[in-house]
Each structure stands twice: as C-alpha cells, then as structure tokens.
Amino acid sequence: MNYIDVFQATQVMTVLSPFSAGGRREIIAQKKIYGFDTGFVAFCRGWNELRSEDCGTLWEHLVLEALQSFVDESKLHYWRDQQHREVDFIVPAGRDAVDAIECKWSVAVFDTKGLRAFRENYPNGRNFLVTAHHIRWHS
C-alpha cells in the first residue's frame, strides 16, 4: 500500500476518479484528492489566515463531505476536459443520466462554460449549483 491508499483507508482523504463515458477530449486518468476536513486542508496548505480566494476551495471540500453522507463514494466523480473546463462533482443518476454539481462560494463567480461543455456530451440529468447562501437546480 502506498500512503494515498493508507489515507483513503483511514478516511483522511477522498480520491475521486474522473467521470468519462468515452468523450474524446475528456481527462480520464488524473484523480482529484480531497482532505477529510476543511481545517485539515487549511493546515496542510499552510494557511494561517484565510484569504477570500481560499473560501472556494474549502467550500468544495465541505460540499463533498455533505455529499458523502448520502451518496456512495464510489459513485462520486468529477469531470474535466482537455480545455480545462470542469464540473466539481458528477453523480450517476440512472440509465444514461448523470447529475452535475457545481460548488461556488459566491454565485457571482459562477461561470457556465464547464457545465455547458459537460452537457454537450451528457445531456440527461439534473444540474445543481451549491453556494454558501443558495441551492439552485435546473432540469
């Protein structure tokens, strides 16, 4: 076992695989690593004080922690293509349907280009935007 396997087994970190169903320009091998706790993440990054730009990263970790309470971790993924467009979390929702979840600390910084690119390849499913103050969804 390498140290990442040990951290996963002890739930110190979560490793998400990329979602892909055969898209030609999708990232299919690079995994994404999350810490088990936002305080742990801040400590590991050496943050003594939080800056406003750190809130988005910590928010994504916090949303993942909430998702893990009701979604089997093996079904949680992220999506990214070679143009660096990304969707934070992807959850298979049934036959040929996947839900997309975007996490933004502030709704003012939400950019739809990643979600639009994802939906070009995977049109079926629900879209969720989770912010610190609102939860919105569109079918």
Tell me the CATH number at 80. 3.40.1350
How does residue 78 score in pLDDT terms, banded at 50, 70 and 90? very high
**Stretch (H or E) spanning 9:** helix 3-9
pLDDT at site 109: 81
pLDDT at site 12: 60
- The gap from C-alpha 128 to its chain's centroid, in whole angstroms, comes to 12
| Domain total in the chain | 1
Q: What is the C-alpha to C-alpha distance for residues 25 and 64, in angstroms, rounded to an integer?
A: 25
Q: What is the pTM of this model?
A: 0.80
Structural domain including 47 reads 3-138
